[in-house]
Amino acid sequence: MHNTRILFVGGSNLLYGLNHRSRHLLTYLQQQVGQVDAVAYTNFSSGQQSVLLHNLWHGLRHLPWGSIQVTEQNHHRQIIVRKLFLPHPLNLLAQDLWCYQRLQSVLRPPYALGIVGHAENALLARMLKRRGLVEQLIYDDWDYYPGLEPNRLGAWMMAQREQSLMHTADLV
């Protein structure tokens, strides 16, 4: 298993919040596997949400050159994608397309295994699988995401994404 290459899409949980299980899984994988590329997301302004205009200016300033950052240590890479600043329904439709477009230049396929957490990555996972960038895909289902949405439209959209991801994945 030490020659295996894994792509782990952990999203913002890898950078923010307290003691999320995705961090524990990533640490375990890095100890057991030859190479793990971990994809994390940061806010458009890469900081805590504060004044709207400040966040917008900070994000736009970094968009052309700083929309993706890659660091490598001991054959493991952390890839941080700066998410777009979009209103909620549009965010669910466009964010993972943006992430896939940004990741194309830095991924090192093929990966024997792709692990995706969070239903927001449904389209990203489908593109990774369909284009043969990952041989096997696991959906690590952390939560019931439609229940976290603020309105019915968002809940319905997230439910559709979660169903799509469950059908795309080889294992849930």
Tokens of 32: 């057991």
CA distance 81 to 71: 12
CA–CA gap between residue 49 and residue 63 (Å, rounded): 17
pLDDT of residue 136: 98
- Quote the strand ranges of 43-164, DSSP E: 68-73, 76-82, 111-117, 134-140
Q: Token pair of 94, please? A: 């466009």
The answer to whether the bond into 150 is cis (omega within 30° of 0) is: no
Q: How far is CA 90 from CA 87, 94, 119, 154, 157, in A?
A: 6, 6, 15, 10, 11
Q: What is the pLDDT along the chain (172 residues), one digit of tens a residue?
A: 567 899 999 988 888 767 788 888 999 999 999 899 999 998 876 555 555 555 555 555 555 556 899 999 988 999 999 888 777 778 878 888 999 999 999 999 999 999 998 888 999 999 999 999 999 999 998 878 788 888 898 899 889 999 999 999 999 9
Residue 78: predicted pLDDT: 96
CA atoms of 129 and 152, how far apart (whole Å): 29
Residues ≥6 apart with Cβ < 8 Å to 111: 5, 6, 7, 37, 133, 134, 135
β-bridge partners, 39: 9, 79
> In the prediction, which pLDDT does 64 show?
57
Does the domain at 5-168 match CATH 3.40.50.2000? Answer given as: yes
What is the model's pTM? Answer: 0.85
Bridge partner list, 171:
138
Q: Which two tokens stand for residue 144?
A: 């019931």
Q: Are 110 and 143 in contact (CB under 8 A)?
A: no
